[in-house]
Amino acid sequence: MKKIFCLFSLTFFLAACSLIPARPAATVVPATAKPSLVPPTQEQIPSTASPVPEIEFGKIARAHIEALTAIGPRVPGSPEEQAAAQYITETFTKLGYSPQTQIFSAVDEDDYEYKSANVIAVKKGDSPKEIIIGAHYDSGDESLGADDNASGVAVMLETAEKIADLQTPYTIRFIAFGSEENDLDGSYFYAELMKPADVENTIAMINLDTLASGDITYVYSDEGKNAFLRDWVLEWAGKNNIPLQTIPNVDITDGGDYVADYGAFKDKSIPFIYFEATNWTVGTKDGWTQVDPKYGDEGYIWHTQYDNLAYLDKTFPGRVNEHMRIFVSSLYAICTEFKLQ
């Protein structure tokens, strides 16, 4: 999620492939459902017919986290990053998509040039208007990157599977970004190639990053007219008992510099929402401390040795699975139910 430096090299990328600043504390606004005071009509009274089975969310995402972390640390430009891109490409292909590889060059702090890539898959909808869903698949070198950011890729891949054979109101463009940890390289490379018509055709960008470990599940956005998708999913979450919260007027920058892949699209004036799990009520209450400081590295999981499933499952039993359920169900709802007013 946040920036680190590339330590590995790669001569050619074969396949698809931070400093911690203070952020101001803010008021948490939970999504809450309004109680109904109206007696149910006859149409609302449950029938005796067999109910339609509910869709299970999160189990597939959990399996993707396991597969991606089994590769090892996915440092930008490394063979492990390449292997992760190959895994994502093969997954999209098995689901019936036709993924494309967008290879680019990047330079690390030592001026070493290496190759990375974005992996792109498109689900055509009833409208050609697009919603972009993005998650970076590289990681730091300190850990297996279960939270940062196998979790985001996992949620994206399960959602792609669940909507593959459905009619969706809008076209969905899934992008797995490479080399985010170096300098948000993949997302900036993609956005810089967008033509004015592509920008105009994009309804919003959804960023998925560090979804597994934090105490509280959030969705952020800009305020005003660009908050439409955040407000829609918060309302949906409230009605469906999904514990999703937001931070009004959130500052998710590093002294003005973007810290995740939403930034490249914000620069294009494309509305964004950003799903994240952290905790704005602990530590310095700036949103960077993810859990109680007695856990992880003084409350930090991302970019530490604690960012692995074994530690998360032992320390926070059931949390990873529950967060996958929350985020996949929220993303699925956006893909299948959201329509512009």
pLDDT band with cut points at 50, 70 and 90 for residue 12: very low
Strands (E), the chain: 29-30, 100-107, 113-123, 127-136, 170-177, 202-208, 216-221, 244-246, 253-254, 257-258, 272-278
Calculate mean pLDDT across residues 261-269: 97
What pLDDT does residue 254 have?
A: 82
**pLDDT, tens digit (0-9, with 9 covering 90-100), for 139-152:** 999 999 999 999 99
Rounded to whole angstroms, the Cα distance separating 114 from 9 reads: 6
Mean pLDDT of the chain: 88
Domain boundaries, the chain: 55-337
Is the model's pLDDT at 29 over the cut of 80? no
Q: What is the pLDDT of residue 30?
A: 42
Mean of pLDDT values over 58-79: 98
Describe the crossing of helices 151-163 and 79-94 by its angle, rounded to 10 degrees.
Answer: 20
The reported pLDDT for the residue numbered 204 is 98
Q: Once rounded to an integer, what is the mean pLDDT over residues 10-22?
A: 37
Q: What is the pLDDT averaged over residues 310-319?
A: 98
Q: Using the predicted structure, report yes or no on whether residue 33 has a pLDDT greater than 50.
A: no
> pLDDT value at position 38?
37
Q: Minimal CA–CA distance to 270: which of 158, 182, 173, 169? A: 173
CATH of domain 55-337: 3.40.630.10
264, with CB counted inside 10 A (0-12, 13-18, 19+), is buried
Backbone angles phi, psi at 203, to 5 degrees: -70, -45
Strand partners, 278: 216
> Cα–chain-centroid distance for residue 157?
10
Greater pLDDT, 37 or 103: 103
Percent over 70 (pLDDT), the chain: 84
Burial of 115 (0-12, 13-18, 19+ CB in 10 A): buried
pTM: 0.86
Contact 234, 160 (CB under 8 A): no
Q: Is the pLDDT of residue 21 over 60?
A: no
What's the pLDDT at 1? 59
At 201, which helix (H) or strand (E)? helix 196-201
pLDDT at 47: 36
pLDDT tens digits, residue range 153-179?
A: 999 999 999 999 999 999 999 999 999
Determine how β-strand 127-136 pairs with β-strand 113-123: unpaired
Is the pLDDT at 10 greater than 70? The verdict is no
14-23, 166-175, 203-212: segment of lowest average pLDDT: 14-23
pLDDT at 40 over 60: no
User: What does the pLDDT average to over 15-31?
Assistant: 38
Q: Is the pLDDT of residue 326 over 90?
A: yes
Predicted confidence (pLDDT) per residue in 217-230, tens digit? 999 999 999 999 99
Give the per-residue pLDDT at 150: 98
The Cα 271–Cα 187 span in angstroms is 15
Model pLDDT for residues 79-107, shown as the tens digit of each residue: 999 999 999 999 999 999 999 999 999 99
Region 201-216: mean pLDDT is 98
pLDDT confidence tier of residue 341, bands split at 50, 70 and 90? confident
pLDDT at 128: 98
